[in-house]
Amino acid sequence: MMGWPSDAEGAATPQPRHDVTWVELDGEVAILDERTREVYVLNTSAAAVWMQLDGDRTLHSIARSLADRAGRDETEILTDVRGLADELRSRGLLTESRPHGT
């Protein structure tokens, strides 16, 4: 699966597309894609990532915060975060904000 154009160092800063609406419910997230009218559900782990995808945070910083919180290896978490972001992007739910640091 293709990664983010600026994600060689986990520096991508994706965010939900403007035509995506989401709600948090008991730690999970339900996402409405207004273009396809489909509703997706993210479990609590994926939701924890989704809720930090604000167009400012990099995937790297998100992985770091989750690793700190869970007491897990940051590199391992970054792999999961990037995989999730790629999956969400392939479904058209994410768009990339500006590359980090530019």
Give me the residues that bind other proteins (CB under 8 A), please.
21, 23, 25-26, 28-30, 32, 34, 37, 39-42
Q: How far is CA 35 from CA 20, 28, 46, 81, 91, in A?
A: 8, 22, 22, 25, 11
Which of 25, 70 has the CB closer to other proteins?
25
| Contact of 29 with 42, CB cutoff 8 Å | yes
Which of 21, 90 has the CB closer to other proteins?
21
CB of 75 to other proteins, least distance (A): 29
Task: Provide the residue type at 67 as one letter.
Answer: A
Which of 42, 63 has the CB closer to other proteins?
42
Task: Provide the residue type at 48 as one letter.
Answer: A
CB of 37 to other proteins, least distance (A): 6
- 70: buried, middle or exposed (CB in 10 Å: 19+, 13-18, 0-12)? exposed
Which of 1, 18 has the CB closer to other proteins?
18
- Name residue, tokens 């969400």: 88
CB of 17 to other proteins, least distance (A): 13
